[in-house]
Structure 1
Amino acid sequence: MECRENPSITTTGATAAVAAAIPTSLLSHISSPAGSFASFPPRAVLVSPCAACKILRRRCVDKCVLAPYFPPSEPLKFTIAHRVFGASNIIKLLQELPEAQRADAVNSMVYEANARLRDPVYGCAGAICQLQKQISELQAELAKSQAEILNMQYQNANLVEFVCQEMLQNQENSPQDQQDENSRFLFDENFFSMGPEPLWT
């Protein structure tokens, strides 16, 4: 006849054996709610590396010179500048400049890199030459329009002067014309008042 062990007895014995193996200091921390959280150190806040350090696959330190100008949300910005200038040249340039001028320098490098990728031969110089050509063409058109405006103003001034002279001449000639008309009217009245002359005397 087999002798079966009582499950409740074996479980209680195993629990007692485990409890005896654990130190009492650790049991006191686990048993108390305050001690369970006080024993673990606070977790460190993970900061995402900047786009430059992420692309270069290096550790982003606290005072990274590239972090303020190449945030993690804009990786393409550093990729373009890095492709044309290189990371070492960008870092060297930023270290040589004061902090007030670094943002403008980064924007200039990114703009130059974009222009260099679009036009590898001339880069920004090509865009500047094209803009200068457009300015020259617009200045020529402006000068032509101003010359046309002056010509029209001169023609209008001559036309006004001619109209004024014509009006003055008409005003000067109008009394003489009125006198001639009056004399002609009197002559006609005298002619009709004379009547027909008798044929015999």
Structure 2
Amino acid sequence: MTVVVVSPCAACKILRRRCAEKCVLAPYFPPNDPIKFTTAHRVFGASNIIKFLQELPESQRADAVSSMVYEANARLRDPVYGCAGSICQLQKQVSDLQAQLAKAQAEIVNMQCQQANLMALICMEMGQSNPQPISPPQQSLENFPMNYLDDNIGSWETLWT
């Protein structure tokens, strides 16, 4: 008869209790990753984690633990906003990048117009009859948010830092 000694899960090891055969925490907090449970325990508490996992179907528990650990890490970095603070920061970054893109697109259109006018001047200087200015391609303006420029002209100065 072989006796298999199974190491208690990280949660039971940290809580200094015997790890039962049907420990609800064992599948999600392996003994080789105690930081995962320590982080979640510090923010949510062991009893809340256990209660929460028992209320969920087993198919959703792994995702729930992953979310709890992610939120716990975010809460330790930013106790007030947690991962919502990270989301707001990323949304601001996207907004800033959209403004930079709009400005770059406007500059491209402006340069294309300048190039077309310059080509028309060169043609006139060379004595060609009926010079036609070359118009910039309209396809670059299709996705250009024209109202964006009106609303955000004052914020362009901060984009060039």
TM-score (norm 1): 0.59
Distance 1:164 1:62 in 2: 87
| Residues 1:118 and 2:71 are matched in the alignment | no
* Higher RCO, 1 vs 2 (CA within 8 Å, ≥6 residues apart): 2
Aligned to 2:63: 104
Distance 1:145 1:102 in 2: 46
| Residues 1:93 and 2:49 are matched in the alignment | no
Q: For 1:91, give the aligned amino acid.
A: I
| Residues 1:51 and 2:19 are matched in the alignment | no
Name structure 1 gaps, 5 residues minimum: 1-41, 171-201
Distance 1:161 1:101 in 2: 66
Aligned to 1:186: none
The one of 113, 128, 143 equivalent to 1:168 is 128
Secondary structure of the 2:129 match is: helix
Q: Percent identity?
A: 78
Q: For 1:87, give the aligned amino acid.
A: A
Query: 106-115 or 93-102: which moved more?
Result: 93-102
CA distances 1:16-56 after superposition (whole Å, capped 9, x unpaired): xxxxxxxxxxxxxxxxxxxxxxxxxx242111110011111
Distance 1:92 1:64 in 2: 12
The one of 34, 37, 42 equivalent to 1:75 is 34
| Residues 1:153 and 2:112 are matched in the alignment | yes
Distance 1:169 1:43 in 2: 101
Distance 2:117 2:54 in 1: 69
Q: For 1:169, give the aligned amino acid.
A: S
Q: For 2:45, give the aligned amino acid.
A: G
TM-score (norm 2): 0.72
Aligned to 1:9: none
Q: For 1:83, give the aligned amino acid.
A: R
- How far 1:165 sits from its partner (Å)? 4.0
Distance 1:140 1:61 in 2: 56
Q: For 1:61, give the aligned amino acid.
A: A
- Tell me how large the CA RMSD over aligned residues is: 1.8
Name structure 2 gaps, 5 residues minimum: 131-161
